[in-house]
Each structure stands twice: as C-alpha cells, then as structure tokens.
C-alpha cells in the first residue's frame, strides 16, 4: 500500500449546488485547511505574546547583567565563585557592568551595589525601600526548628517588631554600660590578661587571632551572661570554634541557600559541605544559649540585675503589653546570636588585622607609639582621651578601611518596586551592597590598595571626616554593636602598642596581606608575630 485510503473509504460529503447538481466534496482536504488555519492563529498569538513580553521587559529598565537558566540561574557568574571570595568576584564584575548589575540564583534576582554613591542612595536616601530582609535564606531557619518567635534584630524584617527589638537591645546595652565606664573597665581587665600572656611568651612567636577572639569574646560574655572564661579553659575553645564555623562559607550569596542540595553539590561541592557543618554548628550554639537563659531564669532576682539576659527577663515580666509581645525567649536567643557574631567575630578580626599591619608597616607602628608617649607617657589610656591621639585614630580608621571585615553587607531586600541609579528595581529583589567596593572607591580613597593613615589627616594636623568610611554599614541597619566595637578597638590597640613593639616572626619574611577564602568575614591568613615588651 502507498499510504492512500481507497476511494470508497475516503471521507466524502455530498451537497447540491444552486441548480440542483450533486457535488462530492473530499473532507480530508477541508481538515487540512482548518489545521493550517489553526496553526497560523497559534503562531500569530505566540508572536504577539512574545513581542508584548519583551517590550514589557524592556520598559522595566532592569540593571545590566546576566540572564538566568531555569532552575539554576546565571551560570556564567556562578561558575566564577568556587575558590574565590564573592566580594572579589562581584567587584570584578562591576568593572564590566558598572556600579549596579544583576544576576540570578535559581529564580531569585540579585542586584549588586558597588561604590559609595549608589550604596548611600539605596541604604540612606531610599532606606524605606531597601531596608528589608529576606526570611527564606537565613541559615538559622534551615538549621533550627521553625519558631516564629526567633527573629532577633539583624535578620528581622523591617517592621514594628524590628524597631522595638532594636530599641530594646540598644537601651539594654546602654543600661548595662556600653559606652560607659563599667564596660571600659571590663575591656581593660581583658587587656591586662592579654598583656600577661604576651609577657609570659618573652618574645616567642605567637598567633594573635585566637588571643583577640578570646579577649573580645570575654567582653561579650560579661555583657550578655555576666561571666568570663579563663583563656586556657577548654570550653572557651569550644565556643570559639563554633563561632569560626558559623562565619564560614559564602554567606547569603551562596548557592546552597537557593538551589536543591544535589545541584549545589554538582556546582560547588565544597560550599555544600560548609553549609552542612554550619547548620550543625547553629544547632549546638542554640542549645548552649538556651541553657544559659534557662539558668538565668532559675536564679533571677529583679533587685540584682547581673547582665543583658537579666534585663530581658525583667522587661518580659514588667513591661507593658505593647513591648512584652516582642520580648520573647526566641527573640532573645536571636539577639544574643547577633551580638555573638556581629560583636565578637568582627571586632576580634579587625584587631588581628591591626597587629598584622603594624608588623608589615613598622613606620606606622612607630608613629603611633611616639604619639602615645607624647600625650600619655606610661599612664593607662582611657577612652575619654581618644580625641587627643589624631594619628592613632587615623590609623584605626585606615585599618578598618583596608581590612573591610564585612566585605559584603548583610543582604538587603526590597519591600516595594523602586528605582536606583536610573534603573528599575522590582519588589522582592536581593540587594548586595559591597562595602569592599566602597573601600576601593578611588573617588573617596585615592590609591586604595595602599595602607595610608595620613589620608585621614589634613594639612593642619586635624582629622579628616570622610563620609565613605562605613565599616558598620549605613542607614537604619547600621551595626547594633558599633559603640562597643569602637571602644574595644581603641582601648585594646593603644594600650597594647604602649606596652609592646610587634615584629615579624622572621624579619626578612613578609607576611601575606591576603584574606582567607571560604569565610564570610574578611580574615587575614594565619600568621605569627613577636611581642617585645617596651622599656
């Protein structure tokens, strides 16, 4: 058979014309004609739909950048992240696309902000649109049982609850002495403890990272829990190691937050493993903090307020209902997490950079010491006298700029459709402000790759105010622990420089000024130095 139906089997219709003649019509040809017409209609419809879609997308005027592959995202940029610091990748992309560009992880659109001007426009001038937080990528939500009471401050959405929790936390810290003499005394207690440790080494090489973590950690513990650890206490090392794991990985821009596990393992196996360890770590941290809160509840005495947890317990029992509804045990746990990570890891890492930079720039160290001697001699230096040390303060500012401890700001989330730098930014967009790009902004910091404290001193020997120095971010979401961090940085740095001269482990071998990879914070690679007691 040739595939054609016999004439007797082909569909036929008999009709009569206007003169009574019978006409036979083959209906198969009619079906083909109808099918051709249907296809034409579908093609026209699709053409109109696609044209309308692309015209609409063009009218949106999105920032330049990468398109996304369904279920994966912008593979062209995602493949650049493994083995590299995310802020370095994004800074490099800004040289191609400009200060604002987009990419995708899965279906989620990200917008990177680079340079002080565009970041200030978003976080300060348009804070009402750019101050929200996403609720679905926080690693604590993935690691811990779902608890709507656990929001804290850093990751809480930009709403009435966030405002109340931030206000309560700031007042509680002030009541307990942040910015006052009591906390200054505690900082000096820890500085004396570190002084004894360094003196006992008698110039033997030592690593400063662990020492600084314990110094700053004890200040935080004294504020929150009313106690401190001895520096050789194994429990102290346990808590410190948990903190180190908590700040590992790529952070909020990591693909593990958005893609299924099997895709993450294919694209970046190392990141998937880091994410698994972080989840386990947060479960351990949660257990530890709740045990401390339970212990405080069992021994609480409203006439003897010992620490930050006691202030929370008093407020939760005595405040009016408009406040009490936010002062929950879950919220207190998250605020403590915020203070642990934001208040200890960042400050201790800044101090670690400070002493590394002093051994690599001994002329800066010497100028600091000369100013300290001229103003204070061998007297203990108090925070109230900080404004007398112009060069020292300029050096601390340059340390913060150069090290950029939080190179990518905690991720922001748009709460409504808005515009930025002439582009349309849709609601529910992930916004990544690069504080690293601010530190590298040549408009505000000429020769940004060089360590130059003098950039903050004018020709009259006075401090230069530079609005682009934002190590604690900008806008409503500035760091909760900024006052404490500033006090710690100044007191520890100047008092140790007054007592010791820091040198390389080996004079002829410079240390690397590169940062570790696979860490959210910008920490220096491991190094050792010698601390020589000054006469």
| pLDDT above 70 coverage of the chain, percent | 82
Report residue 283 as tokens.
């479960």
Give the mean model confidence (pLDDT) for residues 147-167.
Answer: 85
Closest CA to 110 of 93, 128, 127: 93
Q: Which helix (H) or strand (E) holds 370?
A: helix 362-376
Q: Which helix (H) or strand (E) holds 363?
A: helix 362-376
- Give 299's pLDDT tier (boundaries 50, 70, 90): very high
- For residue 483, the 8-state DSSP code is H
Beta strands 108-114; 430-434: pairing state:
parallel
| pLDDT above 90 coverage of the chain, percent | 56
259 pLDDT more than 70: no
27 pLDDT more than 80: no
Q: For position 339, what pLDDT does the model report?
A: 84
Helix residue ranges, H only, 202-253: 208-224, 234-246
Report residue 254 as tokens.
């990591």
Q: Is 160 exposed, middle or buried (0-12, 13-18, 19+ CB in 10 A)?
A: exposed
Give the chain's radius of gyration (CA, Å): 31
Q: How far apart are CA 407 and CA 405, in angstroms?
A: 6
Minimum mean pLDDT range among 170-184, 277-291, 461-475, 494-508 = 170-184
Domain boundaries along the sequence of the chain: 75-533
Q: For position 33, what pLDDT does the model report?
A: 58
**Cα–Cα–Cα angle for 182, 187, 190, nearest 5°?**
130
Tens-digit pLDDT profile for residues 448-486: 999 999 999 999 999 999 999 999 999 999 998 899 999
Q: How far apart are CA 94 and CA 110, in angstroms?
A: 14
DSSP lists the bridge partners of residue 91 as none
Closest CA to 203 of 511, 529, 527, 535: 529
Q: Does domain 75-533 have CATH number 1.10.10.2840?
A: no
- For residue 248, the 8-state DSSP code is B
Give the mean model confidence (pLDDT) for residues 165-188.
Answer: 82
Q: For position 238, what pLDDT does the model report?
A: 77
User: How far is residue 437 from each of residues 62, 87, 91, 119, measured CA to CA in Å?
Assistant: 21, 8, 6, 10
Q: For position 132, what pLDDT does the model report?
A: 96
- Give 411's pLDDT tier (boundaries 50, 70, 90): very high
Contact 435, 116 (CB under 8 A): no
Longest dimension (CA), the chain: 129
Mean pLDDT (the chain) is: 85
Give the mean model confidence (pLDDT) for residues 63-68.
Answer: 95
Q: For position 239, what pLDDT does the model report?
A: 76
**Is the model more confident about 46 or about 284?**
284
355 contact partners, CB below 8 Å, separation of at least 6: 208, 496, 502, 529
Contact 263, 72 (CB under 8 A): yes
Q: For position 265, what pLDDT does the model report?
A: 73
User: How far is residue 248 from each of residues 82, 134, 218, 244, measured CA to CA in Å?
Assistant: 14, 20, 22, 7
Give the mean model confidence (pLDDT) for residues 432-436.
Answer: 97
- Give 41's pLDDT tier (boundaries 50, 70, 90): low
**Is the model more confident about 116 or about 18?**
116
Give the mean model confidence (pLDDT) for residues 499-523.
Answer: 92
Minimum mean pLDDT range among 233-242, 346-355, 380-389 = 233-242
26 pLDDT more than 60: no
**Cα–Cα–Cα angle for 69, 74, 78, nearest 5°?**
130
Report residue 38 as tokens.
């249907």
- Give 19's pLDDT tier (boundaries 50, 70, 90): very low
Beta strands 412-413; 430-434: pairing state:
antiparallel
25 pLDDT more than 80: no
- Give 36's pLDDT tier (boundaries 50, 70, 90): low
């Amino acid at each position: 058979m040739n595939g054609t139906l016999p004439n007797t089997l082909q569909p036929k219709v008999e009709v009569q014309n206007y003169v009574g003649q019978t006409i036979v019509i083959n209906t198969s040809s009619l079906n083909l004609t109808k099918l051709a017409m249907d296809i034409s209609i579908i093609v026209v419809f699709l053409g109109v739909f696609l044209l309308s879609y692309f015209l609409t997308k063009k009218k949106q005027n999105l920032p330049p950048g990468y398109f996304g592959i369904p279920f994966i995202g912008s593979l062209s940029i995602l493949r650049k992240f493994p083995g590299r610091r995310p802020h370095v990748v994004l800074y490099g992309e800004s040289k191609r696309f400009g200060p604002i560009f987009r990419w995708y992880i899965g279906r989620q659109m990200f917008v990177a902000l680079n340079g002080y001007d565009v970041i200030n426009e978003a976080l300060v001038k348009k804070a009402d649109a750019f101050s929200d937080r996403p609720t679905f990528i926080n690693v604590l939500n993935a690691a811990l049982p779902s608890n709507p009471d656990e929001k804290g401050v850093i990751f809480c959405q930009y709403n009435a609850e966030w405002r109340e929790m931030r206000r309560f936390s700031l007042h509680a810290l002030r009541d307990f002495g942040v910015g006052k003499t009591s906390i200054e005394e505690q900082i000096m207690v820890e500085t004396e403890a570190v002084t004894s440790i360094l003196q006992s080494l008698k110039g033997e090489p030592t690593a400063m990272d662990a020492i600084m973590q314990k110094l700053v950690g004890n200040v935080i513990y004294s504020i929150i829990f009313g106690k401190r650890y001895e520096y050789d206490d194994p429990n102290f090392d346990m808590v410190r190691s948990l903190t180190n794991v908590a700040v590992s990985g790529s952070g909020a821009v990591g693909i593990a937050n958005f893609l299924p596990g099997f895709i993450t393992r294919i694209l970046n196996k190392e990141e998937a493993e880091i994410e698994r360890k972080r989840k386990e770590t947060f479960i351990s941290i949660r257990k530890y903090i709740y045990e401390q809160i339970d212990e405080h509840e069992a021994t609480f005495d409203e006439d003897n307020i010992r620490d930050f947890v006691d202030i929370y317990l008093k407020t939760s029992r005595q405040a009016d209902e408009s406040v009490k509804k936010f002062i929950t045990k879950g919220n207190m746990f998250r605020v403590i997490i915020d203070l642990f990570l934001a208040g200890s890891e960042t400050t201790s890492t800044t101090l670690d950079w400070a002493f590394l930079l002093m051994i690599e720039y001994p002329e800066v160290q010497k100028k600091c010491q000369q100013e300290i001697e001229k103003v204070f001699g061998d007297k203990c230096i108090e925070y109230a006298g900080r404004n007398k040390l112009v060069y020292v303060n300029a050096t601390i500012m340059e340390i913060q700029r150069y090290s950029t401890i939080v190179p990518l700001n905690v991720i922001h989330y748009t709460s409504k459709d808005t515009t930025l730098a002439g582009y349309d930014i849709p609601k529910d967009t992930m916004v990544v402000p690069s504080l690293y790009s601010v530190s590298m902004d040549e408009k505000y910091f000429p020769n940004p790759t060089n360590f130059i404290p003098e950039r903050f001193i004018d020709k009259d020997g006075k401090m230069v105010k530079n609005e682009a120095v934002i190590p604690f971010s900008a806008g409503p979401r500035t760091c909760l622990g900024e006052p404490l961090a500033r006090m710690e940085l100044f007191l520890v740095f100047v008092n140790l420089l007054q007592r010791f001269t820091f040198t390389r482990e080996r004079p002829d071998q410079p240390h690397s000024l590169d940062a570790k990879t696979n860490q959210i914070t910008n920490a220096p690679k491991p190094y050792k130095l010698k601390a020589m007691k000054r006469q």
